[in-house]
A and B are shown apart, each in its own frame.
Chain A
Amino acid sequence: CTPTVQMAAPKEPITVNLNVKIQHEIYVKVDKEVDELFEDQGLF
C-alpha cells in the first residue's frame, strides 16, 4: 500500500482589517501649548 502523507491543515490565519488615518498634528498641538505658555503663564 502506498503510505498516505497526512498534511496538517494549515492553521486558519487570524484576519484583521484596519482603517488608519495618520495625522501630523504634533505641530498643531505644540503650537497650542506654546500659546498657552505665553498667554496664561505670562512668559511673553
Chain B
Amino acid sequence: MSLEEAKQQLDTAKQSGLVGETPTGYLAVVKADGNAREIVDAINEARRQEYSRIAAKHNIPVAEVEAVAGKKAVEKTPAGQFVRIGDKWVRK
C-alpha cells in the first residue's frame, strides 16, 4: 500500500475503530480487519523519517520528538476514537 492510499484511508480506519494513536508517537492496530495493518505500517514509516529529520535539525534525540508527537496525537484524538493508555485501548 502506498503512503498516499494509507493517508486517504487513515481517517475512516480511525473512525471505525481499526487503528488508534499511542503515547509513543506511532499508530497501532486496534482490530486487525481490512488493511488496518498496512495503513499502520505505511503511516508509521513516514512518521519515523519525519521524526528523525526534526530531531537532527534541533540536535536532540529522536525519542524526544516521539514523546512530543505521542502526547499531541493522543491529545488531538477526537471523542469516540481509540487511544492507548498503559496496555489497553480506551475509547475517548
Interface of A is mostly: helix
B50 within 8 A of A: yes
Q: Is the CB of A43 within 8 A of B65?
A: no
A3: min CB distance to chain B, Å? 59
Chain B: residues with CB nearer than 8 A to chain A? 7, 10, 21, 43, 46-47, 50, 54, 57-58, 60, 64-65, 68-69, 72-73, 76
Partner of A30, one of B46, B54, B76: B54
Partner of B69, one of A26, A29, A37, A41: A37
Count, A-B residue pairs, CB within 8 A: 42
Whether A37 contacts B10 in the complex (CB less than 8 A), given A30-B60, A44-B76, comes out as no
Q: Is the CB of B10 within 8 A of A30?
A: no
**Tally of contact residues, A, Cβ under 8 A:** 14
